[in-house]
């Protein structure tokens, strides 16, 4: 019996014109491109862009700085170490306060755990304010409000960490399967039991990893905010540079590098260990 061959599929239609990636952009996309190009041109003409002559002159000045900075001056290594310890404590305490405050804010800001939509909107707006204002500005605000010193630095770091962790904690909570939360609520579990029994155990690895990253960022921020009087090693660095003590400034820079590098390595190792434990 002869085989009956089925009808072959027609060849795909060949369309004329450019492919989709070269299609004409929308009006909004075209306007965005024009705005970006306008900013680039204005910045280049207005003197924001780097000029080759300035780069050559800057390399020469950098060489003079390095010549004056070597060898590093270790006469004040004790005072530098003490200030560096204060910087680390500012970052640690600020991160701890910010992380602890971020958990209830994240619960209120997440759509699947917020008690009311108005609470969700207000909390999200508050977290956005904490995140969008730079930490240096927060440091200036707290220096004015509580005075010079590490206390202003701790508060500035805490607010900055709150904005970072509050956002990522809320997004982690929103990624939880709604069926788990709905099942607990259907069984009559109160709100705090849902948070303690489902949200925190599920999100704890993500919370811990984000907190470690926040600690790394806070340590770098605590150096910067010290330049405006918020305590720590930033004041020492500012004074050394202002008095042209470049050899002492280099000692401070190297000390900051070592501490930040150690914290980043420890944080990365802890994050890997947490993630490995969560995946088992």
For the chain, how many structural domains are there in total?
Answer: 1
Phi-psi map region of 23: left, alpha, beta (phi>0 left; psi -120 to 50 alpha): beta
When pLDDT is averaged across residues 230-245 and rounded to a whole number, the result is 86
Cis peptide leading into 16, omega within 30 of 0? no
Q: How many whole angstroms separate alpha carbon 191 and alpha carbon 112?
A: 11
Weakest-pLDDT range from 105-114, 171-180, 184-193: 184-193
The answer to whether residue 15 is domain-embedded is: no
Q: Is residue 32, in this structure, part of any structural domain at all?
A: no
Mean pLDDT of 124-143: 91
Residue 9: the pLDDT is 55
Mean pLDDT of the chain: 82
On the question of pLDDT at 177 being above 80, the answer is no
- pLDDT band for position 280 (cuts 50, 70, 90): low
- Whether 229 is covered by a domain: the verdict is yes
Q: Is residue 252 part of a domain?
A: yes
Q: 221 in a domain, yes or no?
A: yes
More reliable by pLDDT, 26 or 254: 254
Q: What is the mean pLDDT of residues 229-251?
A: 86
> Is 45 inside any structural domain?
no
| Of the candidate ranges 85-94, 153-162, 217-226, the one whose mean pLDDT is the lowest | 217-226
Domain limits for position 188 = 84-279
Q: Which of the four pLDDT bands, split at 50, 70 and 90, describes residue 92? A: very high
d(C-alpha 232, C-alpha 87), whole Å:
4
Any domain includes 262: yes
Cβ contacts of residue 224 below 8 Å, gap of 6+? 135, 136, 234
Report which of 260, 235, 240 is spatially closest to residue 65, judged by C-alpha positions.
Answer: 240
Please say if the pLDDT value at position 76 is more than 70. yes
CATH of the domain at 173: 1.10.3720.10
Mean pLDDT of 54-77: 80
Q: What pLDDT sits at residue 231?
A: 80
User: Span 181-190, mean pLDDT?
Assistant: 68
Q: Which band of pLDDT confidence, cut at 50, 70 and 90, is reported for residue 102?
A: very high
DSSP H helices in the chain: 27-45, 52-69, 77-109, 117-132, 135-146, 150-174, 178-186, 191-194, 200-225, 233-242, 246-279
The answer to the question of residue 173 being in a domain is yes
């Amino acid at each position: 019996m002869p085989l009956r061959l089925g009808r072959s599929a027609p060849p795909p239609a060949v369309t004329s014109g450019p492919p989709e990636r070269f299609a004409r952009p929308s009006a909004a996309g075209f306007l965005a491109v024009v705005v970006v190009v306008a900013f680039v041109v204005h910045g280049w003409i207005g003197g924001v862009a780097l000029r080759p002559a300035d780069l050559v002159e800057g390399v020469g000045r950098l060489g003079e700085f390095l010549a004056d900075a070597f060898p590093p001056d270790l006469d004040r290594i004790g005072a530098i170490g003490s200030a560096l310890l204060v910087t680390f404590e500012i970052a640690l305490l600020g991160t701890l306060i910010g992380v602890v405050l971020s958990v209830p804010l994240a619960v209120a800001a997440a759509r699947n755990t917020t008690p009311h939509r108005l609470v969700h909107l207000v909390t999200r707006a508050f977290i956005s304010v904490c995140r969008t204002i730079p930490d240096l500005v927060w440091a200036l605000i707290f220096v004015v409000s509580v005075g010079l010193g590490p206390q202003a630095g701790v508060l500035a770091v805490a607010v900055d960490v709150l904005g970072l962790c509050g956002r990522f904690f809320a997004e982690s909570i929103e990624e939880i399967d709604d069926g788990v939360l709905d099942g607990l609520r259907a069984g009559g579990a109160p709100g705090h039991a849902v948070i303690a029994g489902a949200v925190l155990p599920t999100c704890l690895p993500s919370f811990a990893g984000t907190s470690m990253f926040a600690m790394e960022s806070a340590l770098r921020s605590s150096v910067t905010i010290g330049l405006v009087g918020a305590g720590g090693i930033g004041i020492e660095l500012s004074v050394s540079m202002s008095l042209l003590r470049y050899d002492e400034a280099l000692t401070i820079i190297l000390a900051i590098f070592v501490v930040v590098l150690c914290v980043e390595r420890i944080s990365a190792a802890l994050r890997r260990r947490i993630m490995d434990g969560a995946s088992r």
